[in-house]
Amino acid sequence: MFIEELDRFIRPGIRVHLSGIGGVSMAPLSEVLLDRGLIISGSDTRETEVVERLRSLGMTVHIGQRAENLGDAQFLIRTAAVHDDNPEILEARRRGIPVFERAQAWGWFMRSYPNAICVAGTHGKTTTTSMLAYILAEAGRDPTVSLGGTLPILTNGHRIGKGDDFVIEACEYFNSFLSFFPTIAVIMNVDADHLDFFHNLDNIKDAFANFASRVPEGGCIVKSFHDPNTEEALSRADLNGKTILSFGLEEGADLRGVNLDESGRITHLEVLFRGEHYTDLDLQVLGRANVIDALAACAVAHYLGVDGKAVHDALLKFSGAGRRFEYRGTVKGALVYDDYGHHPEELKAVMDICRQFSPKRLLVAFQPHTYTRTIALFDDFVEVLKQPDKVFLAEIYAAREENTTGISSADLAARIPGSRFCGSVEDTAEALRAEARPGDLIVTIGAGDITKAAAILTR
Strands lying side by side in the sheet with 99-101? 60-63, 39-44, 15-19, 75-78, 99-101
Residue 109's pLDDT band (cuts 50, 70, 90): very high
Residues whose CB falls within 8 Å of the CB of residue 215, separated by 6 or more in sequence, listed in order: 182, 183, 184, 185, 221, 242
**Of 79, 122, 126, 127, which one is the catalytic site residue?**
126
User: Do 342 and 122 contact (CB within 8 A), yes or no?
Assistant: no
Residue 195's pLDDT band (cuts 50, 70, 90): low
- pLDDT for 173: 80
Higher pLDDT: 155 or 186? It is: 186
Q: What are phi and psi of 118, to 5 degrees?
A: -110, 115
* Cα–Cα distance measured from residue 117 to residue 220, given in angstroms and rounded to the nearest whole number: 9
267 pLDDT higher than 90: yes
Concerning whether 276 is annotated as a catalytic residue, the answer is: no
CA angle 362, 365, 367 (to 5 degrees): 150
Instruction: Quickly count: other Cβ atoms within 10 Å of residue 22's Cβ.
Output: 24
Higher pLDDT: 205 or 156? It is: 205
Domains and CATH numbers, the chain: 2-101 (3.40.50.720), 113-317 (3.40.1190.10), 326-458 (3.90.190.20)
Looking at every residue in the chain, the average pLDDT score rounds to 94
Lowest mean pLDDT of 174-178, 238-242, 334-338, name the range: 174-178
Q: pLDDT tens digits, residue range 378-409?
A: 999 999 999 999 999 999 999 878 999 999 99
56 pLDDT higher than 70: yes
Concerning whether 169 is annotated as a catalytic residue, the answer is: yes
- pLDDT for 160: 82
Average the pLDDT over 180-198 and give the result. Answer: 90
* Cα–Cα distance measured from residue 84 to residue 444, given in angstroms and rounded to the nearest whole number: 34
Q: pLDDT tens digits, residue range 329-368?
A: 999 999 999 999 999 999 999 999 998 889 999 999 999 9
1 pLDDT higher than 80: no
**Of 122, 125, 128, 326, which one is the catalytic site residue?**
125
Best CA proximity match to 298, nearest among 172, 153, 134: 134
Specify the long-range contacts of residues 375-383, CB closer than 8 Å, at least 24 apart.
375/405, 375/407, 376/192, 376/195, 377/192, 377/193, 377/343, 377/344, 378/411, 378/412, 380/344, 381/344, 381/347, 381/412, 382/412, 382/415, 382/416, 383/344
Q: Give 399-431 as a DSSP string.
A: TT---SS---HHHHHHHSTT-EEEESHHHHHHH
Specify the long-range contacts of residues 38-41, CB closer than 8 Å, at least 24 apart.
38/10, 38/11, 38/12, 38/13, 38/14, 39/13, 39/14, 39/15, 40/16, 41/15, 41/16, 41/17, 41/69, 41/70, 41/71, 41/73
CA angle 421, 321, 51 (to 5 degrees): 85
Element holding 117 (H helix, E strand): strand 115-120
Q: pLDDT tens digits, residue range 132-141?
A: 999 999 999 9
CA angle 8, 26, 58 (to 5 degrees): 80
User: Do 31 and 160 contact (CB within 8 A), yes or no?
Assistant: yes
3-class state of residue 165 by DSSP? strand
- pLDDT for 239: 97
* Cα–Cα distance measured from residue 212 to residue 221, given in angstroms and rounded to the nearest whole number: 7
E strands in 321-437: 326-331, 334-339, 361-366, 390-394, 420-423
User: Do 167 and 117 contact (CB within 8 A), yes or no?
Assistant: yes
Higher pLDDT: 19 or 151? It is: 19
Concerning whether 346 is annotated as a catalytic residue, the answer is: no
**Of 88, 91, 138, 169, which one is the catalytic site residue?**
169
Please name the amino acid found at residue 12. Answer: P
Instruction: Quickly count: other Cβ atoms within 10 Å of residue 327's Cβ.
Output: 13
* Cα–Cα distance measured from residue 370 to residue 168, given in angstroms and rounded to the nearest whole number: 25
Please, what sign has the CA dihedral across residues 75, 78, 84, 85? negative
- Provide the percentage of residues in the chain whose pLDDT is more than 90: 82
194 pLDDT higher than 90: no
* Cα–Cα distance measured from residue 210 to residue 107, given in angstroms and rounded to the nearest whole number: 15
Lowest mean pLDDT of 87-101, 147-161, 169-183, name the range: 147-161
Residue 321's pLDDT band (cuts 50, 70, 90): confident
